[in-house]
Amino acid sequence: SSELTQDPAVSVALGQTARITCQGDSLRSYYAAWYQQRPGQAPVLVFYGKDNRPSGIPDRFSGSGSDNTASLTITGAQAEDEADYYCNSRDGNGHYVFGTGTKVTVL
């Protein structure tokens, strides 16, 4: 089955830029989705597809992809962006998989 690998932790100074990456073979064929999860809460979709941000999500969140890697960038990180972030994609069999997750700390 396909796997998606993320760095376990990323730290970013308040107001600076954080980049979270997700690697996996399925990303060569399918776009990723990105979810933010704060402690004790359900995940929230923050970016998906080629270039889509759900309504209500700040435009400091953006996504990109190349080869087997998808990235989520937070430009001008805020304190409320401190959370766990997960990527997600599908494979050719219609199965989906989540990345291993990245804990973002805003310093």
Partner 1 sequence: QVQLLQSGSEMKKPGASVKVSCKALGYSFTGYYIHWVRQVPGQGLEWMGIINPGGQATVVAPKLQDRVSLTKDVSTSTVYMELTNLASEDTAVYYCARGQWGDSWGQGTLVTVSS
DSSP 85: E
> How far out from the chain centre does Cα 65 lie?
11
Distances (CA, A) of 32 to 24, 43, 45: 10, 15, 11
- Tokens read off for 8: 């376990």
Cα separation, 74 vs 31, in Å, equals: 18
Q: How far is the CB of 61 from partner 1 (least distance, A)?
A: 14
Residues touching partner 1, count (CB under 8 A): 23
Does the footprint of partner 1 cover residue 98 (CB under 8 A)? yes
Question: Using CB under 8 A, which residues numbered 77 to 96 contact partner 1?
Answer: 86, 88, 93-96
**Region near partner 1 per CB under 8 A, out of 20-28, 43-51, 58-66, 74-82:** 43-51
Does the footprint of partner 1 cover residue 45 (CB under 8 A)? yes
> How far out from the chain centre does Cα 51 lie?
13
User: Which residues contact partner 1 (rule: CB under 8 A)?
Assistant: 1, 33, 35, 37, 42-45, 48-49, 52, 54, 86, 88, 93-101
